[in-house]
Amino acid sequence: MDLQLQSFDGKKAGNITVSDALFDREYNESLVHQVVTSFLAAGRSGTHAQKNRSAVSGGGRKPFSQKGSGRARAGTIRSPLWRSGGKTFAATNRDYSKKVNRKMYRGALAAILSELRRKDALILVDKVELDSPKTKDLLAKTKSLGLSNALIVTENAAGNLALASRNLYDIAATDADHVNPVALLRFEKVVMSEDSVRKLEESLA
């Protein structure tokens, strides 16, 4: 299919032929939901930890005799019933990641890109260039495209683009190799350069 191509200044730059498998795919909401939740879960550190009664130091001897004291019998001061005792259901280090097949992940990305195109939230530009690493220069470019909240995808987001966008909350830049479903869904618009489209077609189609 053919899509309109613009310059980074907002001027028309002709058309571009893109893959139907990447930009004309049926939207599968359940697949996208599964991939997004899996991606977010994999980002959790899972380093929380608490000590159970066996991990708390001390408590090696019986605190008082079994009978005669009038108190409830106790075998260790590290019981969860005691102050400074162990946790009953202690949290341990955990891996929250969920397995998602590579084909499912690619399919979800293609479904999201196709839905962005259908909702006119996808803007294709011939190339993304900044003469300086100044944030105001990047904002001037995005303003010419009518953007206030957007993700910019290029083949290589390093250099001036990375420096100009790193202090912005509503504008972000990423490489085509690091595009993820959460980033695509977070922003109102997605700007993709022609070289990033070709790279995604190569890796996802």
**What are the structural domains, with CATH classification, of the chain?**
2-45+98-204 (3.40.1370.10), 49-92 (no CATH)
Q: Please, where are the H alpha helices in 3-68?
A: 20-23, 29-42
Question: Residues with Cβ < 8 Å from 10, sequence gap 6 or more?
Answer: 144, 145, 146
**Tens of each residue's pLDDT in the chain, 205 residues:** 888 888 777 777 788 888 888 888 899 999 999 999 999 999 999 999 999 999 999 888 999 999 999 999 999 999 999 999 999 999 999 999 999 999 999 999 999 999 999 998 998 988 888 888 889 888 888 888 888 899 999 888 778 888 888 888 899 999 888 899 999 999 999 999 888 889 888 887 6
In sequence order, the β-bridge partners of residue 190 are 122, 151
